């Protein structure tokens, strides 16, 4: 039996998994003994009927704790609704039952109060062995007496008396007809049927509201008062016969809208999507290497540029295994592009395994011909299925977004050059000025990490992340305690490997070919061309005039790999067997081959030079406007001045005269800046101000620093000497 008259055995109670009660039959029996469910005077337990001797006991549902009773009635009501739907809607209870999830706070309180009163009526019926009608009349009589009596003289418990007041739902009296209707509603629809029906009717929005929203739903996010003023002026200009609403009326109308509808037009698609409901993807049925997800992130701190030595924010590409949350690959570069992504993917496949699916956004680093082309692309060559997230749908890549925040944000905050939103503005300005002054004077700053230091910190941060417990990794019980606990990505990967998982890895020898970019080219007289370089191999003579694919190393242009173009069953072009390795032979524009990486640097440098030239031209135009009269240049005057010898040292030099040594106050000369630097390291106490100025100028120049480094000059020691001599 279900409802208020339900009798349950210990096993049935355990199977229901009710809150506050044990989950095994033995534990429920002990709970019943400890809480006096089988007291001799209690009539809410009995021998299980239909069994002769030792059949066990049954307990009335009113003996359960309050939370357990509420959960039991919810389950009973839901089961009754489901059964009614299965029966084809023959039951009439579906017309009156509504689920508790849509109730207002007041309706839920009234529903629970009515449920308490019905429990009391059922308790009286069983305990006093009277009919349901007599139990209802008995309760009403006690309630009438308590209303006229003092609080300390009432027959009903305080909680029961208060429940009767709340359950009446603003009515003056609680009669027997009302209680009988509640009993009937409960038997037909469960506790949800006890909730009061809503008396409010949704009113439509006023006619003026759509006109007002034209001025309010704008990306500039005007205030209500500003939008109302614009709407009022609009009505006045048109002479429309529409009364303008007041500020309070507008606030009331906006309050009827949900957060999403109220923000539509004021927020963009991405911000609006962040306020909408989303689906949480379950990854428990995956395995390692099934899905890799990747994303690029601009580091929130400045480091020293590896080429020109200036300050910049590098781009980090991260690849994560979705199942284990392990960072399996990473790469750091000057910008997010296909080469940095390829470098990270190469490390992930060689060290951990080839993924079945590669999931990323639609950025240029992932959506390009080098990745997607069926003939020359990496994905087809490795057998990887590439998937892209939809635009304005970064929530779908929540795994990689969280990893980026977890690894790189704390690392960037360790540096004094941190530029994130949490950085103090005053401190940020002070650090910015100091680093620029240090770079200008010494070519380096103690506050800014070098490129090598930054790469070491990145590697350590990845190792620490993979060894840190994650709240989302709680799939396996602890082998010692048997309880589930949070796991680290490394542990989840090891557990999967111990269970028989084996990754499809790439041998280092194969990686050179699998991850090499390929382009389609046509042979000509045993030669192929790529990036203005000409490569020659005698094996290509047999392929004169035919199309081939050429694989190249982005860091080395001395040799390229040439393959045939084959076709599959569908006639699609696919990479064929290797023909040869063609070597750089010569070209018309260069004496040394240019690599893909070098060409990209030169292209970027040319574009940067053009932008600087445009700025210089704009400055010259401001100083020499076209409206000014051109002045006549004065005749060039040349002066015959004696030649002046500029020296780099004021140290006295000994001069030999008549076999005697005479010290002449003549400055010492150095053949090169490198010789001056070596002398300064050996004689720091004799360094003059002019020599310090020369060395300071050299240290601020990247080319001079490179010459010093190649000459085995200790740059750190030289900087310290120049700094101390100031």
Q: In CATH, what is the architecture of 291-498?
A: 2-Layer Sandwich (3.30)
Decide: residue 665, CB within 10 A, 0-12 exposed, 13-18 middle, 19+ buried: exposed
Strand partners, 519: 550
C-beta neighbour count of 32 within 10 angstroms: 18
Q: Which ranges of 256-395 would DSSP assign to H, the alpha helix?
A: 259-263, 269-273, 338-351, 369-372, 378-382
Predicted pLDDT at 644: 39
For the structural domain made of 209-273, what CATH number should be given?
1.10.10
Strand residue runs (E) in 284-435: 291-298, 303-304, 311-312, 315-321, 327-333, 357-360, 385-388
**603 Cβ contact partners less than 8 Å away, ≥ 6 residues apart:** none
| CATH level 2 (architecture), domain 3-194 | Orthogonal Bundle (1.10)
Q: For residue 600, which of 252, 364, 347 has the smallest C-alpha distance?
A: 364
Query: 3-class DSSP state for residue 72?
Result: helix
Kindly give, in sequence order, each residue whose CB lies less than 8 Å from that of residue 367, ignoring residues fewer than 6 positions away: 388
Please tell me the distance from the alpha carbon of residue 509 to that of residue 556, in angstroms, as a whole number: 17
CA distance to 4, 18, 74, 97, 105, per residue, from 70 (Å): 11, 9, 6, 17, 16
- Do the domains spanning 3-194 and 209-273 agree at the CATH topology level? yes
Give the separation between CA 72 and CA 43, rounded to whole angstroms. 21
Q: Give residue 631's pLDDT.
A: 43
69, 74, 78, 84: CA torsion to nearest 10: 70
Q: How far apart are the first and last CA of the chain?
A: 95
What pLDDT score does 560 carry?
Answer: 87
Q: Rounded distance, CA 377 to CA 370, Å?
A: 5
For the chain, the structural domain boundaries read 3-194, 209-273, 291-498, 518-618, 653-724
pLDDT under 50 in the chain at which residues? 1, 52-54, 81-99, 396, 586-589, 627-651, 653, 655-664
């Amino acid at each position: 039996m279900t409802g208020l008259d339900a009798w349950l055995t210990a096993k049935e109670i355990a199977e229901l998994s009710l809150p506050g009660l044990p989950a095994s039959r033995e534990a429920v029996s002990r709970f019943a003994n400890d809480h006096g469910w089988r007291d001799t005077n209690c009539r809410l337990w009995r021998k299980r009927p239909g069994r002769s001797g030792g059949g066990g006991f049954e307990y009335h549902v009113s003996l359960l704790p309050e939370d357990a009773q509420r959960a039991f009635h919810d389950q009973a009501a839901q089961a009754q609704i489901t059964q009614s739907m299965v029966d084809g809607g023959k039951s009439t209870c579906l017309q009156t039952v509504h689920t508790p999830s849509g109730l207002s706070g007041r309706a839920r309180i009234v529903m629970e109060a009515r449920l308490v009163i019905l429990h009391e009526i059922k308790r009286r019926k069983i305990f006093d062995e009277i009919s349901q009608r007599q139990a209802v009349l008995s309760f009403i009589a006690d309630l009438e007496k308590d209303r006229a009596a003092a609080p300390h003289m009432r027959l009903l418990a305080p909680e029961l008396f208060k429940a009767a007041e709340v359950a009446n739902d603003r009515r003056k009296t609680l009669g027997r007809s009302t209680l009988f209707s509640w009993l009937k509603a409960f038997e037909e629809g469960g506790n949800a049927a006890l909730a009061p029906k809503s008396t409010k009717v949704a009113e439509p929005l006023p006619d003026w509201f759509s006109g007002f929203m034209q001025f309010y739903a704008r990306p500039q996010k005007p205030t209500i008062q500003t939008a109302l003023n614009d709407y009022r002026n609009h009505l006045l200009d048109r002479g429309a016969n529409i009364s303008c609403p007041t500020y309070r009326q507008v606030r009331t109308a906006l309050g009827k809208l949900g957060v999403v509808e109220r923000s539509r037009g004021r927020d963009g698609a991405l911000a609006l999507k962040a306020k909408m409901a989303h689906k949480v993807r379950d990854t428990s049925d995956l395995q390692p290497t099934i899905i890799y997800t990747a994303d690029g992130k601009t580091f929130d701190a400045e480091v020293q540029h590896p080429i020109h030595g200036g300050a910049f924010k590098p781009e980090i590409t991260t690849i994560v295994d979705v199942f284990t949350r392990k960072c399996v690959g990473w790469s750091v570069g000057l910008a997010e592009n296909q080469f940095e992504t390829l470098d990270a993917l190469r490390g992930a496949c060689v060290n951990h395994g080839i993924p079945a699916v590669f999931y990323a956004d639609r950025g240029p680093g992932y959506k390009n011909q080098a990745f997607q082309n069926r003939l020359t692309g990496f994905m087809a060559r490795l057998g990887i299925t590439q998937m892209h997230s939809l635009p304005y749908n970064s929530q779908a890549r929540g795994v990689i977004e969280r990893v980026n925040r977890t690894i790189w944000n704390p690392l960037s905050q360790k540096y004094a050059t941190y530029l994130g939103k949490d950085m103090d503005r005053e401190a940020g300005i002070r650090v910015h000025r100091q680093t620029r002054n240090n770079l200008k004077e010494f070519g380096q700053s103690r506050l800014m990490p070098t490129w090598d230091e930054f790469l070491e910190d990145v590697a350590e941060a990845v190792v620490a992340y993979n060894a840190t417990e994650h709240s989302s990794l709680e799939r396996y019980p602890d082998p010692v305690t048997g309880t589930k606990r949070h796991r680290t990505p490394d542990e989840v990967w090891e557990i999967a490997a111990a269970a028989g998982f084996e990754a499809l890895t790439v041998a280092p020898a194969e990686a050179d070919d699998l991850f090499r970019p390929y382009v389609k080219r046509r042979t000509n007289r045993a030669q192929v061309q790529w990036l203005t370089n000409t490569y020659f191999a005698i094996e290509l003579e047999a392929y004169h005039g035919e199309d081939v694919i050429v694989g190249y190393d982005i860091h080395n242009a001395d040799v390229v790999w040439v393959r045939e173009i084959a076709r599959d069953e569908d006639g699609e072009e696919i990479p064929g067997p290797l023909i040869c390795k063609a070597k750089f032979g010569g070209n018309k524009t260069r004496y040394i081959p240019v690599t893909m990486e070098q060409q990209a640097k030169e292209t970027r440098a040319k574009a940067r030079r053009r932008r600087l030239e445009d700025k210089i031209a704009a400055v010259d135009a401001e100083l020499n406007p076209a409206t000014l009269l051109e002045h006549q240049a004065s005749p060039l005057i040349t002066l015959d001045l004696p030649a002046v010898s500029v020296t780099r040292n004021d140290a006295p030099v000994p001069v030999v005269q008549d076999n005697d040594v005479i010290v002449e106050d003549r400055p010492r000369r150095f053949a090169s800046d490198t010789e001056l630097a070596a002398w300064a390291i050996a004689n720091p106490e004799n360094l003059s101000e002019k020599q310090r100025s020369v060395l300071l100028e050299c240290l601020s120049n990247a080319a001079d620093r490179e010459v010093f480094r190649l000459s085995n000059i200790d740059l750190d020691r030289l900087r310290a000497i120049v700094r101390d001599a100031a």
